[in-house]
């Protein structure tokens, strides 16, 4: 006589208590299939990464410059910025390696718009599947234009959808201490910069560089959307970004030397990038050119520790609030942190290029 086992459902609900809805994402393979990278795009990205790696090693004395909008909210203005950057780059390519800042995810201290991937229509609906497609499409267009792209890696799942299109990646000040982000960085194919922590700690970022350089085993998702185990080999191109803190700046010569000493003690090359925004500008976008000018003076004076600069820059200076009708937004102006405008950007880049040329003398 067969014994039947009756499955009893618990009367007390203990799961999904705070879930409003669940929607399926397209798999990374589906998004890659719909928006494929060709051989020309892959070759461009490989060349751009090699150039960045040479700068980080000190084999190329040009300055790496990550410049672009605080965040991307509109594909059209992003591509126009990319075209302008490509046209401008020919006049400074002997001194600068220009990489466009193409940020799709924004860490928020409290609430606010979280970026194109999370809310592509700026209406709060959170169509993440569409956001991933738009993000990948923008990166593909940058690659077709021959413009290297950089982005902050914030989420642990989304890199499978677009990270192979990046020339450079960043781990931000809020996540630099996260073990999960450190092990994820160990598997990324692009060089990764680690920002000093929000309290100004450089040692936290140095620790992250060391950890990300080691092999790790961790869970992730496959191209088919299945849970899998990733075994990384470690990322040898982790490096430091000085971004200042709420307490003050760290782009001056003394701070740069202190950071270089910390890197040397850790057995790392004394090479770093200076973020001209955030804590170093006191969150005032109008001070970015002053920070860049100070950095340029150090470079012209012979500093080899500074190998790169970051700028928050858009077609139009300043910022705007996301209104109830996103279609009324001013074209080419940031909806997150305020940015310097295009004309001021080119002036800053010319000054940095002149500093590199002066250092060669």
3 domain-assigned: no
249 domain-assigned: yes
Compute the radius of gyration of the chain from its Cα atoms. 21
In order, the DSSP letters of 22-33 are: --PPPPHHHHHH
169 phi, psi to nearest 5 deg: -130, 160
- pTM, full prediction: 0.94
76 domain-assigned: yes
C-alpha distances in angstroms, 216 versus 223, 228, 232?
A: 19, 14, 5
Degrees (nearest 5) of the Cα angle 240, 213, 174? 45
**CATH number of the structural domain spanning residue 290:** 3.20.20.70
Q: Which domain, by its residues, includes 104? A: 28-360
In order, the DSSP letters of 189-235 are: SS-EEEEPPTT--HHHHHHHHHHHTS--EEEEE-TTS-EEEEE----
The helix/strand/coil state of 63 is strand
198 domain-assigned: yes
Number of structural domains found in the chain: 1
pLDDT digits (tens), the chain, 361 positions: 455 555 566 789 999 899 888 889 999 999 999 999 999 999 999 999 999 999 999 999 999 999 999 999 999 999 999 999 999 999 999 999 999 999 999 876 667 889 999 999 998 888 999 999 999 999 999 999 999 999 999 999 999 999 999 999 999 999 999 999 999 999 999 999 999 999 999 999 999 999 999 999 999 999 999 999 999 999 999 999 999 998 999 999 999 999 999 999 999 999 999 999 999 999 999 999 999 999 999 999 999 999 999 999 999 999 999 875 667 899 999 999 999 999 999 999 999 999 999 999 9
112 domain-assigned: yes
95 domain-assigned: yes
20 domain-assigned: no
Give CA–CA dist 287/277, Å, rounded.
8
169 domain-assigned: yes
Q: pLDDT by residue (tens digit) across 303-355?
A: 999 999 999 999 999 999 987 566 789 999 999 999 999 999 999 999 999 99
């Amino acid at each position: 006589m067969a014994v039947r086992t009756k499955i009893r459902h618990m009367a007390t609900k203990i799961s999904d208590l705070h879930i409003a809805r669940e929607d399926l994402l397209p798999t990374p393979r589906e998004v890659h299939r719909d928006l494929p990278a060709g051989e020309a795009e892959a070759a461009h990205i490989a060349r751009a990464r090699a150039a960045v790696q040479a700068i980080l090693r000190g084999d190329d004395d040009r300055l790496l410059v990550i410049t672009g909008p605080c965040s991307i909210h509109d594909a059209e203005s992003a591509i126009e910025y990319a075209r302008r950057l490509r046209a401008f780059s020919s006049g400074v390519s002997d001194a600068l390696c220009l990489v466009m800042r193409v940020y799709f995810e924004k860490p928020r201290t409290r609430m606010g718009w979280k970026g194109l991937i999370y809310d592509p229509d700026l209406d709060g609906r959170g169509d993440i599947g569409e956001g991933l497609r738009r993000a990948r499409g923008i990166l593909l267009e940058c690659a077709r234009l021959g413009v290297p792209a950089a982005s902050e890696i914030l989420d642990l799942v989304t890199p499978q959808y677009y990270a192979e299109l990046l020339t450079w990646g960043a781990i931000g000040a809020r996540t630099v201490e996260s073990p999960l982000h450190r092990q994820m960085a160990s598997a990324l194919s692009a060089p990764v910069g680690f920002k000093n922590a929000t309290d100004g700690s450089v040692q936290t970022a140095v620790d992250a560089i060391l950890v990300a350089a080691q092999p790790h085993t961790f869970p992730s998702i496959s191209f088919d959307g299945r849970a899998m185990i990733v075994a990384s080999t470690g990322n040898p191109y982790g490096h430091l970004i000085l971004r200042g803190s709420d307490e003050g700046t760290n782009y001056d010569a003394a701070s740069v030397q202190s950071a270089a000493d910390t890197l040397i003690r850790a057995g790392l090359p004394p090479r770093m990038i200076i973020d001209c925004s955030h804590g170093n500008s006191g969150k005032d976008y109008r001070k970015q050119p002053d920070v860049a000018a100070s950095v340029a003076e150090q470079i012209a004076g012979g500093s080899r520790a500074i190998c790169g600069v970051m700028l928050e820059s858009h077609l139009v200076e300043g910022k705007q609030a996301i209104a109830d009708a996103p279609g009324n937004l001013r074209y080419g102006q940031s909806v997150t942190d305020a940015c310097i405008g295009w004309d001021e950007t080119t002036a800053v880049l010319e000054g940095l290029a002149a500093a590199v040329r002066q250092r060669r003398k």
